[in-house]
Amino acid sequence: MASLKALKIRIGSVKSTQKITKAMKMVAAAKLRRAQDAAVAGRPYAERLGAVLQSLASRVTVSESSPRLLAGTGRDQVQLLVVATSERGLAGAFNTNIVRAARRTAQTLEAQGKTVRFYLAGKKGRVLRRFYPDAILHDADLSAIKTPGFDDARAIADDLVRRYDAGEFDVAHLFYARFVSALVQEPTQVQLIPVESAAPSPTSASATSQSGADAAVEYEPDEEAILTDLLPRNLAVQLFRAMQENQASFFGAQMNAMDNATRNAGDMIKRLSIQYNRTRQAAITTELVEIISGAEAL
């Protein structure tokens, strides 16, 4: 049985930990609001831009003169998985869920005979080095970024385009956590390169026609010229959105993790306090018995 001194030290240690986790929960809750507003505000633009590009892509006849980000390389052998995680931990299963989704997709692609490469954006994604030590194409250092900006996303997008033009991969997929609520963060996968053409269903086509959005549109310049300018921009926008969603999801997950840790610390303090009181009472009882026994012996 632990001594009274050891129990007292342990109770003090758990109380100190509880203060830290409680403070981290309050900080995460304060940052969550701003990050959530930024993520929600950025969704309409990113979604609309993606829809416009898909619509344009569906109207363009792919040829040798088409932008490579639209036409692709003509192959799908080398698949690049862009894994966006956080730079810090203490957020429950936030990073683990993103990495697990990427690994699951990698295993599926490898089973199909594809070559898988990884582009890491976030320190916590480096755990993939343990499973795929020779498949890491690049590890972007985001440690200096406190709040993601569009320039940070554009730098990654430019690097991806450069590597794509160099023939380092054929298809790129992005993995991140979509913010649903403070309690729910949904691992999400989207195809970044090449842009997928929209394939509307009869129902959506009918709705579009009724709304008048399917009317004849004359582009100046032509569709391919517009796509040449918008495709790299869309890539940066989608990456920026993923970074914003990740940050909001991270603070939500961290707030919940620290809340659970604070409650668990409180439960542990109660159990240790009961054990301490029982041990102390047992020691007092033993001393009283010894005193009484000694007195009777006299």
Judge whether 292 lies within some domain.
no
Q: What confidence score (pLDDT) does residue 97 get?
A: 93
Judge whether 197 lies within some domain.
yes
Q: What confidence score (pLDDT) does residue 267 get?
A: 94
Q: What confidence score (pLDDT) does residue 24 get?
A: 93
Burial per residue of 209-231, b for 16 or more beta-carbon CB atoms within 10 angstroms, e otherwise: eeeeeeeeeeeeeebbebbbebb
The parent domain of residue 70 ranges over 21-257
Judge whether 87 lies within some domain.
yes
Tokens standing for 62?
């792919």
Q: What confidence score (pLDDT) does residue 205 get?
A: 43
Residue 167's CATH number: 3.40.1380.10
Query: What's the pTM?
Result: 0.80
> What one-letter code names the amino acid at 54?
Q
Judge whether 16 lies within some domain.
no
What CA–CA distances, in Å, run from 245 to 34, 59, 96, 240?
A: 12, 31, 16, 9
Judge whether 5 lies within some domain.
no
pLDDT tens, the chain, 298 aa long: 568 888 889 999 999 999 999 999 999 999 999 999 999 998 898 888 888 887 777 776 766 667 778 777 788 899 999 999 998 888 888 999 999 999 999 999 999 999 999 999 989 989 999 999 999 999 888 888 888 889 889 999 999 999 998 889 999 999 999 998 888 888 999 988 888 765 544 444 444 444 444 445 565 666 667 777 888 888 999 999 999 999 999 999 999 999 999 999 999 999 999 988 988 888 888 878 778 877 776 6
Decide if 83 contacts 104 (C-beta within 8 A): no
Judge whether 296 lies within some domain.
no
CB neighbourhood size of 200 (10 A) = 14
Q: Is 78 helix (H, G, I), strand (E, B) or coil?
A: strand
Domain count for the chain: 1
Instruction: Give the alpha-carbon dihedral of 188, 192, 195, 198, to 10 degrees.
Output: 10
Q: What confidence score (pLDDT) does residue 50 get?
A: 83
Residues near 89 by Cβ (< 8 Å), separated by ≥ 6? 95, 124
Judge whether 280 lies within some domain.
no
Q: What confidence score (pLDDT) does residue 2 get?
A: 67
Beta strands 115-121 and 78-84 are parallel
Q: What confidence score (pLDDT) does residue 204 get?
A: 42
Judge whether 273 lies within some domain.
no
